[in-house]
């Protein structure tokens, strides 16, 4: 009928708003542990966890893999016109996020709006979708945790973006990130992420590594400068990943990234966005990466997912292992929390889980696993048993000698003198690893 617009039909009919029903509920479309308002260490769970939905996996994931075609049933993907389809998807995304009860989402520019035939057409697509995202954010209260740019899918980025051997590609990537920053700023984004994409190499013989890494730093400085120019005060993050798609990514792990940031004078502007599956690809535990970033003052945000121990790539599965989420939340609490960062589910439903309702099961499971990790970690901190064992292990550092060494008043000479008199160091004490592990299991 002329003059009236047809309301968009619900994308998830029959799925109500997901509520906290407690551990004994039989309803699998309910939270057992995530109770947004419940206080943990004096703050609501929602503020500790700051859950975000990843637009790329949840609304753009098709289920295709190197061996097979898309499998996902997404009844709302009906429009032939790419821009109209993108606009429809915004409705779906906000319906999903409101029903799920998450406070945040994250996207790459090309997830939300289709790339056009020219840069200016891509810009205008993005502008159009941004206005719709803004309206939906305002109406729902859902916020943008961070934005980013896809600098890896288009063939122009075959050799990388900021680290491409071709200056024109660097320039194009700069134009794309400038726009992505404009959009993130317009949407009040709390952060902006750099993940390397294809910033790395396949072969060192054809690569000038020094030049490429210098260019990456130049690129990040330009982003920081531009953010200042437009008044974007969100947090910048660097997301480590050791390989995939290249055999070596320059953002290998936290230690590598932090060294890069300090070398190039970016340490005041950029923190880490740490992803579980990337940590394991680097041969680390997530806890290691969090601890390393935390102790250096670079802990920013996390991409929550998990890999499969028998599949050697970034499978981006939803996290359900409570031991893992406890390790994560224990370390995060130790370093004072994530805000303005959060817990972004950089995770996708399995190719075999192709129905829309699976998106709910996946996120509910991840949120509950993190809520349990949070409460267990808080209980561990409250009774202090692990902390006490740790202090006992390091007790000698509170002795007069330990204090003098830590305060810098001892030297090699003075210590040699002391040990020549003493003749031998005190006997070593047991590390008690099994005891620590047993104590941790008492909380589960």
The closest of 229, 79, 360, 123 to 221, measured between CA atoms, is 229
**Phi and psi for 11 in degrees, rounded to 5?**
-85, -25
CA distance linking residue 153 with residue 67, whole number of Å: 18
- For residue 156, count other CB atoms closer than 10 A to its CB: 15
# binding residues, ligand XLS (CB under 6 A): 10
Instruction: Work out whether 346 is an interface residue with Ni ion (CB under 5 A).
Output: yes
Compose the 262-301 pattern: x for residues touching ligand XLS by CB under 6 A, - for all others: -------------x--------------------------
Catalytic residue among 33, 48, 57, 108: 108
Q: How far is the CB of 275 from Ni ion (least distance, A)?
A: 4
User: Which residues inside 318-377 make contact with ligand XLS, applying CB under 6 A?
Assistant: 346
The closest of 197, 212, 289 to 243, measured between CA atoms, is 197
Residue 105 or 195: which CB sits closer to ligand XLS?
A: 195
Q: How far is the CB of 313 from ligand XLS (least distance, A)?
A: 10
Instruction: Work out whether 289 is an interface residue with Ni ion (CB under 5 A).
Output: no
Catalytic-residue membership of 111: yes
- The single residue among 95, 199, 253, 314 that binds Ni ion, judged by CB under 5 A, is 314
Residue 31 or 152: which CB sits closer to ligand XLS?
A: 152
CA distance linking residue 23 with residue 26, whole number of Å: 9
Question: Computed from CA positions of residues 171, 260, 254, 294, in that sequence, does the dihedral angle turn out positive or negative?
Answer: negative
Binding partner selected for residue 246 from Ni ion, ligand XLS, none, CB under the kind-specific 5 to 8 Å limit: none
CA distance linking residue 11 with residue 74, whole number of Å: 9
Q: Which residues are within 8 A (CB) of 397 and not within 5 positions of it... i.e. 6 or more apart? A: 403, 405, 406
Residue 74 or 241: which CB sits closer to ligand XLS?
A: 241
Instruction: Work out whether 182 is an interface residue with ligand XLS (CB under 6 A).
Output: no
Compose the 64-103 pattern: x for residues touching ligand XLS by CB under 6 A, - for all others: ----------------------------------------
CA distance linking residue 432 with residue 38, whole number of Å: 35
- The single residue among 132, 148, 325, 375 that binds ligand XLS, judged by CB under 6 A, is 148
- The single residue among 314, 325, 326, 329 that binds ligand XLS, judged by CB under 6 A, is 314
Burial label, 147 (beta-carbon count in 10 A; 0-12, 13-18, 19+)? buried
Query: Are 366 and 347 contacting, i.e. CB atoms less than 8 angstroms apart?
Result: yes
Element at 195 (helix H, strand E): strand 191-195
- The single residue among 90, 126, 129, 193 that binds ligand XLS, judged by CB under 6 A, is 193
Q: How far is the CB of 281 from ligand XLS (least distance, A)?
A: 9
Catalytic-residue membership of 108: yes
DSSP labels for 268-293? TTEEEEEEHHHHHHTT--HHHHHHHH
Q: How far is the CB of 77 from Ni ion (least distance, A)?
A: 24
Binding site for ligand XLS (CB under 6 A): 108, 148, 193, 195, 239, 241, 275, 303, 314, 346
Question: Would you please indicate which residues are annotated as catalytic (active-site) residues?
Answer: 108, 111
């Amino acid at each position: 009928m002329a003059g009236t617009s047809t309301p968009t039909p619900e994308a998830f009919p029959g799925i109500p708003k997901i509520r906290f029903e407690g551990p004994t509920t039989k309803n699998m479309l309910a939270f057992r542990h995530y109770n947004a308002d419940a206080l943990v260490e004096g703050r609501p769970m929602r503020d500790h966890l700051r859950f975000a939905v990843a637009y790329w996996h949840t609304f753009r994931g098709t289920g295709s893999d190197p061996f097979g075609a898309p499998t996902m049933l997404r009844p709302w993907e009906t429009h032939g016109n790419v821009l109209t389809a993108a606009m429809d998807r915004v409705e779906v995304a906000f319906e999903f996020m409101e029903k799920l009860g998450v406070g945040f989402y994250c996207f790459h520019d090309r997830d939300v709006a289709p790339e056009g035939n020219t840069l200016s057409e891509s810009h205008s697509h993005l502008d159009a979708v941004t206005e719709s995202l803004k309206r939906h954010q305002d109406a729902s209260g859902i916020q943008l945790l961070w934005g980013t740019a896809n600098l890896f899918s288009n063939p122009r980025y075959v050799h990388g973006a900021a680290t491409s051997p071709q200056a024109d590609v660097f320039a194009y990537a700069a134009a794309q990130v400038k726009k992505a920053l404009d959009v993130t700023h317009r949407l009040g984004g709390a952060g902006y992420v750099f993940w390397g994409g294809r910033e790395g190499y396949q072969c060192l013989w054809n690569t000038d590594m020094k030049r490429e890494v210098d260019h990456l730093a130049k690129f990040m400085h330009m982003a920081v400068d531009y953010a200042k120019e437009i008044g974007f005060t969100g947090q910048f993050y660097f997301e480590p990943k050791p390989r995939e798609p290249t055999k070596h990514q320059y953002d290998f792990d936290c230690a590598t990234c932090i060294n890069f940031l300090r070398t190039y004078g970016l340490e005041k502007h950029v923190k880490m966005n740490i992803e579980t599956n990337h940590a394991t690809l680097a041969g680390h535990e997530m806890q290691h990466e969090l601890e390393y970033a935390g102790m250096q003052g670079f802990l920013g945000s996390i991409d929550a997912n998990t890999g499969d121990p028998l599949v050697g790539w970034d499978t981006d599965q939803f996290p359900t292992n409570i031991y893992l989420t406890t390790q994560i939340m224990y370390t995060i609490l130790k370093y004072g929390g994530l805000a303005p960062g959060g817990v972004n589910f950089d995770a996708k439903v399995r190719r075999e889980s192709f129905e829309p309702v699976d998106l709910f099961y996946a996120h509910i499971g991840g949120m509950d696993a993190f809520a349990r990790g949070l409460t267990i970690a808080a209980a561990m901190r409250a009774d202090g048993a692990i902390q006490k064992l740790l202090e006992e292990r390091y007790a000698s550092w509170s002795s007069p000698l330990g204090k003098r060494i830590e305060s810098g008043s001892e030297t090699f000479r003075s210590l040699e003198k002391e040990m020549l008199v003493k003749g031998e160091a005190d006997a070593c004490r047991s590390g008690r690893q099994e005891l620590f592990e047993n104590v941790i299991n008492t909380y589960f």
